[in-house]
Chain A
Amino acid sequence: AQSVSQHNHHVILSEAASLELGCNYSYGGTVNLFWYVQYPGQHLQLLLKYFSGDPLVKGIKGFEAEFIKSKFSFNLRKPSVQWSDTAEYFCAVNGRDSWGKLQFGAGTQVVVTP
């Protein structure tokens, strides 16, 4: 069965620090990978996605993620965070058996302090 594991549940950083959130998935076939963000009081927004091609993908607001197929990982990074990056981040996967079903990780709450 598909599963998605996010390594950290809570991360606290200072502004200008670098951020890396880990995501590992378990699925044997072709997958698409996503990172979503949920800012306080707002709905889920797509940060970036990978479905083929260059394994290093760039998204909105300076975020990027690297797909490492051999490690079943899709880690999210941002070189320098801002207070406005405080949010919950979700890794998600869909696979060929069920493209319409996103399997989400548990989420990582990121707090950026001024």
Chain B
Amino acid sequence: KAGVTQTPRYLIKTRGQQVTLSCSPISGHRSVSWYQQTPGQGLQFLFEYFSETQRNKGNFPGRFSGRQFSNSRSEMNVSTLELGDSALYLCASSLRDRSYEQYFGPGTRLTVT
């Protein structure tokens, strides 16, 4: 089975711009979660989508949003980029079964200049 894929892998944007990141889950996985990884804050949960509905949300400003499509693919959007948004954005997919284990993609490295 193919793993979680994320596109693009690297991105450079300017402060004030917006960006959209894409995630394709493992086949059959209907839950997609997003995380932000930075050296200072570590791994922080952004949100989870299941059946095209946001199920959980982390403590991020409204500039961070997401959506999920009927084929379980997910996108996250960051509007009005700030320098502090520079990070590795990770997507994880899950079967949403008893243990709810999540499988991570390689991430999108976003640099805001």
Interface residues, chain A, CB within 8 Å of chain B? 32, 34, 36, 42-46, 49, 51-52, 90, 92, 94, 98-107
**With a CB–CB cut-off of 8 A, which chain A residues contact B48?**
98, 100-101
A101–B33 touching, CB < 8 Å = yes
Closest 3 pairs (CB-CB, A-B): A100-B48, A104-B43, A44-B104
**With a CB–CB cut-off of 8 A, which chain B residues contact A106?**
42
Interface size on B, residues (CB 8 A): 26
**With a CB–CB cut-off of 8 A, which chain A residues contact B99?**
32, 49, 51
Interface residues, chain B, CB within 8 Å of chain A? 31, 33, 35, 42-45, 48, 50, 55-56, 58, 90, 92, 94, 96, 98-107
Query: Can you pick out 9 interface pairs between chain A and chain B where the beta carbons lie within 8 Å of each other?
Result: A32-B99, A42-B106, A49-B99, A90-B43, A94-B100, A100-B48, A101-B45, A102-B35, A107-B43
Identify 10 new A-B residue pairs, CB closer than 8 A, beyond the known A100-B31, A100-B55.
Answer: A32-B99, A43-B104, A45-B104, A49-B99, A51-B99, A90-B43, A100-B56, A102-B35, A104-B42, A104-B44
**With a CB–CB cut-off of 8 A, which chain A residues contact B31?**
100
**With a CB–CB cut-off of 8 A, which chain B residues contact A42?**
106
Which of B42, B103, B106 contacts A107, CB < 8 Å?
Answer: B42
B102–A102 touching, CB < 8 Å = yes
Tell me the smallest distance from the CB of A97 to a CB of chain B, in Å: 9
**With a CB–CB cut-off of 8 A, which chain B residues contact A101?**
33, 45, 48, 56, 58
